[in-house]
Structure 1
Amino acid sequence: MNTALDTSAAFLPGGARLRAEEFPEAADGIYLNAASFGLLPSRTRAVIDRWSRERASGAGVDPERFNGSLMRARAAAGHLIGEPVESIALAPNTSYGVNLAAEIVGAGAPGRILLSDGEFPANVLPWKRLSQRGFEVEVIPADAQGLPRFEAMEERLARDSSIRAVAISMVQFGTGVLADLAAWGARCREREVFLAVDAIQGLGVSPLEGPGAMGVDLLTSGAQKWLLSPWGTGFLYLHPRHLDRIHPPFVSWFGFESALDFEELLDYESPLLPDARRFEPGTLPVHDMEAMAASIELLLEVGIDRIRDHVHGLHDRILEWAADRPGVEVVTPRDAGRRAGILSLAFDEVGEPAAALERAGIAAAIRGGRLRLAPHLYNTSAEIDELLAVVG
């Protein structure tokens, strides 16, 4: 049975009302590109507007409220992934967390960093900088379809004691492949190899509970995509065992205990904060971070598992259509356990369907010469039917 949300027969409880109240502009077109950026919910924009009005009026900001809003964002992020707020640091993007992971690994003995071809540059370039410290980045080639060859990576990890870190995406941005983080965590923990995860294409559409217990050392994610948040928002999770392994590669005054009391600001001997906040980059955009909290709270209210099921219901319509279409190949695994929200389709000539979608005002993306579709909770089965009618 197709379980996708429709405005007339909603699978998600209150789905039609949710779309009307939180995503009213979704009715103006068909947006299937959450893998680039997600639509902002009404409640999220209301948070930004409130802060903007107060800032424009010159009204003072209570430090407790300022810090409380940031803590709301950390708490929402922690709730999303099932980790304590003490292990969450707010960050402006995914790259920030990848760079921190590279700094942690780079403080140790040189060795190899293992990753797959097809990774987004944010999860590659910070690691390559470690060549300056004697590290080598080894990229395992993808298969003929561009899919990661996880088995080859596993074999390499098993026989090479010089590997210091494995860097993978929770979901690859081009192919939509969902990694088995628990399996990777077990392998890396057994060999004392650092596991860093770029989670930006998975969080918000694929459930994740307790990456630390799985063996993930650091997980990082911008929030502008499936988490439906403003640009420049995100967070990272750092396993507690690493908290004191490395001094923050750079520090801000917000990373010290003196920042909690303005009467102590000139205490230059103040200790670092005792948790992951010590790794935050300084004064944060509180309006955007609290807006991120509002978006994550909405997603949690709906339920990430329900969102996944809804999105997969939309996928099913496309998979059924593609099954008997010559010249169309589904690149993303059909197995629901190996995909999240991205569905990648290869066409004999992708230019024609891409042009047809543009003429019809349907937003999607071309990545690696393939059509990448990324529906979210605000999309409907009727929109998918229109998509398929346009691409033929």
Structure 2
Amino acid sequence: MSDEFVLDPGLCHLNHAAVGPWPRRAVAAVTCFAEENARLGSLGYLDWLGVEQRLRERLAELIGAERASDIALAKNTSEALSVIAHGLPWTPGDNIVGIAQEFPSNRVVWESLADQGVTWRALDLDRSRDPEADLIALCDDSTRMIAVSWVQYASGLRLDLERLGAWCRANAVLLCVDAIQGLGALPFDLRRFQADFVVADGHKWMLGPEGLALLYVRPEWRERLRLRQFGWHMVEHSGDFDRTDWTPASDARRFECGSPNLLGTHALEASLSLLAEIGMDEVWNRLQARTDHLIGLIDERGFELLTPRAPERRAGIVTFRVPGESAARLYPLLMARRVLCAQRGGGLRFSPHFYTEFETLERAMRLLDDILSESTDSL
């Protein structure tokens, strides 16, 4: 499947945890969509909606949802989280338990509920040896929700969602999962994880475009979320424009107020078709082999691994620190040598995918060696 990716051979793309490249089929899907639009306008609109339906089906399969109609398409993860946060019926004194080191989207949205008397309680992962137990320990009788990322964006720590989900369901606490750093990298099982809400943008490990995200709301909660956005698309009879009475759609479309992003839909559906052909178990096996190899290269050099070493605690992110060096200094030097990576959590974050060549990993580390050697020579 490496022929699906046409990355410049001089580029070491190790940044799927930020924005992933599109496979050939996604580029082709968007090109065909644009050319059809230029020649025929919206003549094929019903066919475009068929692609949208296939996308919902693929996303439902990806997380293990029962029906495609359980999947809403949001603009991004932040919007999806906002739909949940500002739709739930809160009571003053309620609290939400999360993680201090979360990406801002998974902090700001919960902090924004302060004017409703809702408190966000944050676990400091740097002081936790058992994050699931410590998250649970932060809960009390006023805890309504645990809201966490499946995989932490900086350290790459993967939470045990099965353990959290079982406790939440047994204790009538909601579980909201930001799955953006895991979906497309390794299998997700909604039945085992028992999440009430799942959100994820498509532009990272799912290899799709920005501007399109998954929003899953457990059907029992769908009609209990207060809607804050309204428009023609979210009503039950969305095609009957002359109808003056309306009710929100009974399925997840109720969370989609306006016209769909059909350009993004064509790209993401095509990208997910690639993952489906390979199978998520195989995608994960290949990605794990690459992260294992990368960790080996880090260990050989005596660098400090910041990502958990245990395989069950990792996904596709590998973050490390070079002793005696600043990541803030090394990062721009790596980027200048076309090693596409990130500076996160006090270290350098490399995030390959299932198709990344092992040679790409080795070349990136050799380029880092060169940078360090040049620094030594200049002393």
2:238 pairs with 1:256: no
2:297 pairs with 1:335: no
Task: Tell me the SS of whatever aligns to 1:101.
Answer: helix
**Percent same amino acid among aligned pairs?**
30
Q: Is the 8 A contact 2:297 2:362 kept in 1?
A: no
Q: Is the 8 A contact 1:212 1:239 kept in 2?
A: no
2:76 pairs with 1:93: yes
Q: Between 245-254 and 173-182, report the one with greater CA deviation.
A: 245-254
Q: Is the 8 A contact 1:147 1:175 kept in 2?
A: no
Match of 1:112 in 2: 95
After superposition, the Cα gap between the structure-2 partners of 1:213 and 1:361, relative to the gap in structure 1 and judged at 3 Å, is closer
Q: Is the 8 A contact 1:89 1:279 kept in 2?
A: yes
Q: Distance in 1 between the 2:245 and 2:108 partners?
A: 35
Q: Is the 8 A contact 2:182 2:315 kept in 1?
A: yes
Q: What displacement does 1:322 show? A: 2.6
**Total equivalences in the alignment:** 366
Q: What displacement does 1:107 show? A: 4.0
Match of 1:78 in 2: 60
Provide, for residues 289-312 of structure 1, a one-character-per-residue CA deviation record: whole Å limited to 9, x for no partner: 121111111111112222222122
Aligned to 1:362, which of 316, 320, 339?
A: 339
Provide, for residues 98-127 of structure 1, a one-character-per-residue CA deviation record: whole Å limited to 9, x for no partner: 112212334456411111111011111111
Aligned to 2:246, which of 238, 257, 270?
A: 270
Match of 2:112 in 1: 129
Q: Return the letter of the residue paired with 1:364.
A: C
Q: Return the letter of the residue paired with 2:258.
A: G
Q: Distance in 2 between the 1:202 and 1:185 partners?
A: 17
Q: Is the 8 A contact 1:105 1:164 kept in 2?
A: no
Task: Tell me the SS of whatever aligns to 1:236.
Answer: strand
Q: What displacement does 1:325 show? A: 3.1
Q: What displacement does 1:63 show? A: 4.2
Provide, for residues 47-104 of structure 1, a one-character-per-residue CA deviation record: whole Å limited to 9, x for no partner: 1112212222352334422322221211111111111212100111111111122123
Q: Is the 8 A contact 2:84 2:225 kept in 1?
A: no
Q: Is the 8 A contact 2:92 2:116 kept in 1?
A: no
After superposition, the Cα gap between the structure-2 partners of 1:212 and 1:61, relative to the gap in structure 1 and judged at 3 Å, is farther
Q: What displacement does 1:279 show? A: 0.7
Aligned to 2:150, which of 170, 174, 183?
A: 170
Q: Is the 8 A contact 2:328 2:343 kept in 1?
A: no
Q: Is the 8 A contact 2:187 2:281 kept in 1?
A: yes
Q: Distance in 2 between the 1:28 and 1:57 partners?
A: 37
Q: What displacement does 1:271 show? A: 2.8
Provide, for residues 169-199 of structure 1, a one-character-per-residue CA deviation record: whole Å limited to 9, x for no partner: 0101000011111111111111111111111
Q: What displacement does 1:344 show? A: 0.7
Match of 2:264 in 1: 288
After superposition, the Cα gap between the structure-2 partners of 1:120 and 1:279, relative to the gap in structure 1 and judged at 3 Å, is same
Provide, for residues 14-73 of structure 1, a one-character-per-residue CA deviation record: whole Å limited to 9, x for no partner: xxxx222x1122534210000011110111111111221222235233442232222121
Q: Return the letter of the residue paired with 1:223.
A: G
2:218 pairs with 1:239: yes
Q: Distance in 1 between the 2:191 and 2:166 partners?
A: 11
Q: Is the 8 A contact 2:121 2:138 kept in 1?
A: no
Q: Distance in 1 between the 2:328 and 2:252 partners?
A: 46
Q: Return the letter of the residue paired with 2:193.
A: M
Task: Tell me the SS of whatever aligns to 1:24.
Answer: coil
Aligned to 2:282, which of 295, 306, 315?
A: 306
Task: Tell me the SS of whatever aligns to 2:85.
Answer: helix
Task: Tell me the SS of whatever aligns to 1:164.
Answer: strand
Q: Distance in 2 between the 1:96 and 1:162 partners?
A: 26
Match of 1:220 in 2: 199
Match of 1:4 in 2: none
Task: Tell me the SS of whatever aligns to 2:321.
Answer: strand
After superposition, the Cα gap between the structure-2 partners of 1:351 and 1:246, relative to the gap in structure 1 and judged at 3 Å, is closer
Match of 2:133 in 1: 151
Q: Is the 8 A contact 2:33 2:266 kept in 1?
A: no
Q: Return the letter of the residue paired with 2:273.
A: E
2:205 pairs with 1:205: no
Aligned to 2:209, which of 226, 230, 248?
A: 230
Provide, for residues 219-257 of structure 1, a one-character-per-residue CA deviation record: whole Å limited to 9, x for no partner: 000100111101101111110111221242222211113
Provide, for residues 349-388 of structure 1, a one-character-per-residue CA deviation record: whole Å limited to 9, x for no partner: 1355435423431111111321001001231111111122
After superposition, the Cα gap between the structure-2 partners of 1:304 and 1:292, relative to the gap in structure 1 and judged at 3 Å, is same
Q: Is the 8 A contact 1:114 1:140 kept in 2?
A: yes
Match of 1:181 in 2: 161
Q: Is the 8 A contact 2:88 2:224 kept in 1?
A: no
Q: Is the 8 A contact 2:100 2:123 kept in 1?
A: yes
Aligned to 2:359, which of 370, 373, 382?
A: 382
Aligned to 1:192, which of 172, 181, 184?
A: 172
Q: Distance in 1 between the 2:301 and 2:2 partners?
A: 32
After superposition, the Cα gap between the structure-2 partners of 1:147 and 1:363, relative to the gap in structure 1 and judged at 3 Å, is farther
Provide, for residues 139-196 of structure 1, a one-character-per-residue CA deviation record: whole Å limited to 9, x for no partner: 122216x988433212122xx1111111100101000011111111111111111111
